Amino acid sequence: MSIDQWLETNSFHHSTFWDLKQLVAEKEKQNLKISLCIPTLNEEKTIGKEIVIFRSELMTRYPLLDEIAVIDSGSKDQTLEIASRFGADTYFSGDILPEEGFKRGKGENLWKAIHQLNGDIIVYVDADITNIHPRFVYGLVAPLIYQPDTKYVKAFYDRPLAFSQGIRPSGGGRVTEILTRPLFSLFFPELTALMQPLSGEYAVRRETLEEIAFPIGYGVEISHLIDVYTRWGLKAFAQCDLDKRVHRNQATRDLGKMAFGILQAFLNRCEQLDMVDVKTEMAKVLRQFQVNGEQIEQLEFTIVEEERPPIQTIKGYQEKFHP
């Protein structure tokens, strides 16, 4: 399948799936269960609104979701209390599969969610979206319901629109355009078809999630894409335009930490696939600088992209889902 063909058949706009009654009917016809996971760490300002909207529109009005769960990394604010008050199931990640220990990171939450939730499809949505809308779920779930060969659906935002001054280009965030897209262009050209490969919103079939490893940190999304692509090819993916996503912007320094973790995960994957030969062990310390008065201060951050193995290899998971 060429990139042009894939863009024609596997790229959607959320408005295509406006008929939620029909979508629910098809879900029930296939006897599917759908779970929503919201990974959190100190998101008390936005978590309540997300849960209210998803519960009212996608559980009460249209029963598309079977469960909504917050998987938390150890928030120090009122995230879990607010989420529970508005009707979500809430879990501390360390309490899930406790025999496997606890590692702090978003990827850890996503991995633990596969064990805790019961859906045939799991949709992940970040907790910091201020313009939250039901399309952030149904736009991602629908391609999996209507296209049986699709395994993994990514969100993208800010589609190209014609306006009075011309065409507004669409693409990913700063790390995507400066780091991830150039890397994909060099090593995995077909994956450049994904508009926003690092987006935090995606829906995946359980059997697909069972087979892939989960970096616990910044590298989880890029590793997922490479693993799914090398197993099943571009045809396994779809993407959906969700129009616009409003959330807090990260400082450039924080994006540097993100890029450092992503690059570690990317090179690890390329080495496993015999695409590169890393002669020495990669350093895990990122150095950044700031000026304090007349002094230049060096900042050091240790960032290690640890990985959780495919969850189907975990005894506790096998006992629960494949006894």
What are the tens digits of pLDDT across the range 254-309?
899 999 999 999 999 999 999 999 888 888 999 999 888 889 999 999 988 899 99
Three-state DSSP at 297 gives strand
| CATH number, domain with residue 67 | 3.90.550.10
pLDDT under 70 in the chain at which residues? 159-172, 247-248
Tell me, yes or no, whether 270 lies in a domain.
no
- The answer to whether residues 201 and 155 touch, using CB atoms and an 8 Å cutoff, is yes
Given the DSSP bridges, would you call strands 161-163 and 166-168 parallel, antiparallel or unpaired? antiparallel
Check residue 160 and give its pLDDT: 41
The neighbouring-strand residues paired with 290 are 297
Tell me, yes or no, whether 293 lies in a domain.
no
State residue 12 phi and psi, 5-degree precision.
Answer: -130, 165
Tell me, yes or no, whether 256 lies in a domain.
no
Tell me, yes or no, whether 20 lies in a domain.
yes
Tell me, yes or no, whether 46 lies in a domain.
yes
Check residue 163 and give its pLDDT: 42
Tokens representing 238? Answer: 């779809």
| Tokens 């006992």 sit on residue | 319
Torsion of CA 101, 261, 107, 54, to 10 degrees: 150
Q: Where are the alpha helices (DSSP H) in the chain?
A: 3-10, 20-29, 47-55, 79-85, 106-116, 135-146, 174-175, 181-187, 206-209, 220-232, 252-272, 315-321
Measured CA to CA, the distance from residue 151 to residue 140 in angstroms comes to 11
Check residue 69 and give its pLDDT: 98
Tell me how many domains the chain contains: 1
Check residue 192 and give its pLDDT: 96
Tell me, yes or no, whether 50 lies in a domain.
yes
Measured CA to CA, the distance from residue 83 to residue 59 in angstroms comes to 16
> What pTM was estimated for this model as a whole?
0.92
The range of the structural domain enclosing residue 126 comes to 3-251+309-321
Tell me, yes or no, whether 80 lies in a domain.
yes
Tell me, yes or no, whether 297 lies in a domain.
no
Measured CA to CA, the distance from residue 227 to residue 311 in angstroms comes to 14
| CA Rg value for the chain | 20
